């Protein structure tokens, strides 16, 4: 069970980072 929880956490991390990158790109358009 602990392995499943860790893998879920790792799967959610990139999604959160993508959301942050999208917000940054919208706030500071290049």
Which residue range is the domain that position 12 belongs to? 1-30
26-29 contacts, C-beta under 8 A, 24 or more apart = none
Tokens of 20: 């942050």
Indicate the pTM of the whole model: 0.46
* Angle, CA of 26, 28 and 30, to the nearest 5°: 100
The dihedral built from the CA positions of residue 15, 16, 21 and 27, taken in this order, carries a sign that is positive
Give the model confidence (pLDDT) of 1-30 as tens digits. Answer: 576 677 777 777 788 889 999 999 999 877
Tokens of 17: 């980072």
Count of domains in the chain?
Answer: 1
In this prediction, residue 21 carries a pLDDT of: 93
């Amino acid at each position: 069970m602990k392995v499943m929880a860790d893998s879920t956490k790792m799967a959610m991390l990139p999604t959160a980072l993508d959301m942050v990158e999208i917000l940054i790109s919208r706030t500071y358009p290049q």
